[in-house]
Amino acid sequence: MADQDDDKHLDAAERALGTEPREHESAEGRRAREDWDAKLAPLALAAPPVQPPADMFQRIERGIAGEPDTAKIVQLAERRARRWRAVALATSGIAACLMVVVATILTTFPLIEGPITPPAAPQQAYVALVTPEGGEGPAMIVEVRFTDFFGEGTQTGIVTVQPLHVTAPEGRALELWLIPPGQAPQSVGLVDPQSVTLLNVAAEPGDILAITVEPPGGAPGGVPSGPPILSGPLVPAR
Partner 1 sequence: MASGERDGPVSLDGANLAESSLEDLLAQVARQDRRAYRALYDATSAKLFGVTLRICRERSLAEEAFQEAFIGIWRTAADFDPARGSALAWMAGVARNRALDLLRKRGRSDTPIEGDALEKLLSEAAVQRAGQADLDALLQCLERLEETPRRAVVLAYCEGRTRDELAAHFAAPANTVKTWLRRALLSLRSCLEE
Q: Whole-number minimum distance, CB 145 to partner 1, in Å?
A: 23
Q: Residue 135's closest CA among 24, 26, 237?
A: 237
Task: Specify the residue, 4 or 51, whose C-beta has the smaller distance to partner 1.
Answer: 51
Task: Specify the residue, 13 or 161, whose C-beta has the smaller distance to partner 1.
Answer: 13
Q: Taking a C-beta distance cutoff of 8 angstroms, is the pair 228, 177 a contact?
A: yes
Q: Which residues contact 33 (CB under 8 A, 6 or more apart)?
A: 12, 13, 15, 16, 22, 25
Task: Specify the residue, 71 or 190, whose C-beta has the smaller distance to partner 1.
Answer: 71
Hey, is 157 helix, strand or coil?
A: strand
Task: Specify the residue, 57 or 150, whose C-beta has the smaller distance to partner 1.
Answer: 57
Q: Residue 119's closest CA among 107, 105, 106, 109?
A: 109
If you count them, how many residues does the chain have? 238
Element (H, E) at 77: helix 70-91
Task: Specify the residue, 3 or 152, whose C-beta has the smaller distance to partner 1.
Answer: 3
Interface residues with partner 1 (CB under 8 A) are: 6, 9-10, 13-14, 17-19, 21-22, 34-53, 56-57, 59-60, 63-64, 69, 71-72, 75
Q: Whole-number minimum distance, CB 148 to partner 1, in Å?
A: 26
* Class of residue 209 by CB neighbours under 10 A (exposed 0-12, middle 13-18, buried 19+): buried
Q: Whole-number minimum distance, CB 118 to partner 1, in Å?
A: 18
Q: Whole-number minimum distance, CB 66 to partner 1, in Å?
A: 10
Q: Whole-number minimum distance, CB 11 to partner 1, in Å?
A: 9
